[in-house]
A and B are shown apart, each in its own frame.
Chain A
Amino acid sequence: MIPAGFEYHRPGDIASAIGILQEHGDEARVIAGGHSLIPMMKLRMAEMGHLVDLQAIDELKGIEVGSDTVTLGAMVTQHELITHDGLATAIPLIREAALQIADPQVRYMGTVGGNVANGDPGNDMPGLMQCLNASFELSGPDGKRSVAARDFYEAAYFTAREDEEILTRISIPVPGADVGQAYEKQKRKIGDYATAAAAVMVGNGTASVAMTNLADTPIWSEEAGAWLAGGNVDGCVAAMLDAIDPVADNRGPVEFKKHVAAVVLRRAIDRAQSRAG
Chain B
Amino acid sequence: MSKMHVKLTVNGKQVEGLAEPRTLLIHFLREDLKITGPHIGCETSHCGACTVDIDGKSVKSCTTFVAQVNEADITTVEGLTNDDGSLGVLQEMFREHHGLQCGFCTPGMITRAHRLLQENPNPTEEDIRFGMAGNLCRCTGYQNIVKAISASADMLKAQKEAAE
Contact = CB atoms under 8 A, between A and B. Distances in A.
Interface of A: 1-8, 10, 31, 34-35, 38-39, 41-42, 51, 53, 55, 79, 102-106, 108-109, 190-191
30 contacts: A1-B43, A1-B44, A2-B27, A3-B22, A6-B21, A7-B21, A8-B67, A35-B63, A38-B45, A38-B65, A39-B44, A39-B63, A41-B22, A42-B43, A42-B44, A53-B68, A79-B57, A102-B134, A103-B48, A103-B133, A104-B58, A104-B131, A104-B132, A104-B133, A105-B48, A105-B51, A105-B59, A106-B60, A109-B63, A190-B133
B20 interface: yes
Given A104-B112, A104-B131, A105-B134, A38 B59 contact: no
Interface residues of B, number: 29
B46 interface: yes
B51 A7 contact: no
Contacts of B27: 2
A16 B24 CA distance: 25
Contacts of B134: 102-106, 190-191
B15 interface: no
Given A104-B58, A105-B58, A190-B134, A53 B45 contact: no
Contacts of A5: 1, 20-22
Interface of B: 1, 4, 20-22, 24, 27, 43-46, 48, 51, 57-60, 63-65, 67-68, 112, 116, 130-134
Contacts of B130: 104
Nearest to A99: B130
Nearest to A37: B63
Contacts of A42: 24, 43-44
B21 A38 contact: no
A103 to B, nearest CB: 3
Nearest to A41: B22
Instruction: Tell which of A79, A104, A190 has the most Cβ of chain B within 10 Å.
Output: A104
Contacts of A10: 67
A7 B22 CA distance: 9
A95 B46 CA distance: 22
B68 A34 contact: yes
A264 to B, nearest CB: 20
- Which 6 residue pairs of A and B lie closest in terms of their CB atoms, listed nearest first? A103-B134, A5-B1, A8-B21, A108-B57, A105-B134, A8-B67
Contacts of B22: 2-6, 41
A7 to B, nearest CB: 7
A105 B112 contact: yes
A3 B134 CA distance: 23
A51 B23 CA distance: 13
Nearest to A53: B68
Nearest to A4: B22
B63 A34 contact: yes
B133 A55 contact: no
